[in-house]
Each structure stands twice: as C-alpha cells, then as structure tokens.
Structure 1
Amino acid sequence: MNSDRINEDSIEFKLGKILCNNKLTISTAESCTGGMVAAKLISYPGISASFLEGAITYSNEAKMKRLGVRKETLDAYGAVSEETAREMAEGVAKASSSNTSIATTGIAGPGGGTDEKPVGLVYIAVHVNNKTIIEKCNFSGNREEIRISATNHALKMLKDELENQNYK
C-alpha cells in the first residue's frame, strides 16, 4: 500500500471534502491541542482552498491579543471554560473572515488539574455560519492521548454540524 495515500474513511478526509466541495472556509484556534487540529485538516489534499489559518494561543495574553477573548471572560471563568472556547472560536472566525472554525481549550496534563477542572477536561467549540456549539469533554489517558482524543472529537463535531446544516 502506498504510504502517501490518504485514508478516505478518516474524519479529516470526510471533513476536508465537505469543506472544499461547499467552498467553505475554516480557521482554527487551539490551546491544549497545540496545532493538531490544523495538522489533521491540512492532511487533506486541496485543503488550501478552504483552510485560511490556524492560531495556537496557549497563553491568556495570546487569546486576548490574537482572538479577542475578553480579559473579563478569562478572569471570571478561566482559560478552560465554555465561555473562553466560544470567544476563541468566534474570534478566530472573525479575525480570518472564515465561515467555520474550531477552538480547543483544556488541561492535557499530566499536571495543572484541580478538583474543579481535572486533567482531561477540554472545551471544544465549533462555529458554522454564525452558530457556535460548545461541548465539555472529559478525556482520559496521558497527555498525548488526551490531545489526540480532543482533536478527533473536534473534527467530528464540525463534520456533524456541517451535515446538520445540510452540507454534504
């Protein structure tokens, strides 16, 4: 089997096809996944017609400066929150003028967790045509496994929302 061949059953292939076939644009804002969402999307041949940009905004300062996340949001809810995920997804879509976006923010571990916000807690936001959906996820495993789980879940969330909006 040719190692350069993409798996047509993969989530990134299916999502890339939907984005490109429907002339949709996408941008990403990632914290805990550190660029993995963008990397998966970019594996689809021809994605340059749809993928506009990806931002890895690990620090609160980057979230505010690059994505327009409000300091008040970060102070009130923290970086790992539904509210911050929403502002990240909406902010990167606005900054890049894309009609879809994905944002991830969470605690991949092994440290950094608390009783209130344990390791594995990830908020994922997908933004499609001015509609934002956020899911609170609790993944298990080591740091890499949590990041992979969050990446795959984010891609599936966007694919499902696009299909719900009748994009095929």
Structure 2
Amino acid sequence: VPHEANGYVTASQLNVRSGPGFHQPVIGTLWRGEHVTLLGRDSRSQWLQVRLSNYAKGWVAARYVNSSVPVWQLPITEVGMPEPPANYTGYVTTPTLNVRSGPGFNFWIVDRLGQGQSVTVYGRDVSGRWYKVGLPNGASGWVAARYVRIDVPVYEMKTLES
C-alpha cells in the first residue's frame, strides 16, 4: 500500500475542507493543474486527504483530482474510522479452488478447497485479485478472489505483501 501518492487538480477551482464531506468548513482553495500530495482517503474513496504546499492537511473531493495510483490503494485516513477487522470469513463459490503459494496463477498449487467451504481471509494483494487465506490444516495460501464470496468490499481489506 502506498503511504502517499501524487495528484493534480482537474477542476478549475477546488475547495479544500477540514474533513471528508461537503458539509465541512472550507479551509483553502486549489486551482486547476496544482499538485498535491495524497495522504489517504475516506472509506468510500470519495474524499482524499491532501497535504498542501504549506504542509497543512485538508480534504478534497476525489473526483476532481487525478491520482498517480488508483485511489482505493491509498490508506483510509478518515478520522474516527474503525480499524478494519483482522480477518474475514469467505466461502468458496466454485467446485474446486486451487490454493497457491503466492498471488498469481504462476505459483505452485499447495492445496485445493471445495465449493461452500469456509476460509479465513487475511487480506488481499495490491491488485485486489488474490486473497491470502488460512487453511483448515493451519497453513495459509493464496486464492483467486473471484471464486470467494465475502461480505466486505475488497477496497476495505488490508493489503498484504506476498
């Protein structure tokens, strides 16, 4: 997960607010083409926390900023946000799911899971296409995310290194 990224303003004029939301007080203004450091986002990726050239921090509407990384890859920095749970429970949705030694089809198959089997999901890779899961035997491995049903948006999950 990038700790920060770069962005530039695409609106002719962009209000900087004290928090994520149009109801928050305006604390500054940015202009089209102005560069900002992106520190984080709110949980719905609609607001970005930015550091201004004077090192002050504020929030801007994400749709008016072009980011050097996908916005959902930025950490959630919203004040008062609960920490994401340590783990999630997912369910296999395909007859046979290969468990691999890393996040990709090029990694070794280390186990197989059956349809409907529950797994502990520890997090995702940067792309969001692979989940690291705990296996019934206590080992762990990686599975293709599209074959696991989980009741949480992928962008809210912790990003893990392989």
TM range (shorter): under 0.3
Between 1 and 2, higher relative CO (CA 8 Å, sep ≥ 6) is seen in: 1
Structure with greater Cα Rg: 2
TM-score by length of 1: 0.22
More helix as a share of residues? 1
More strand as a share of residues? 2
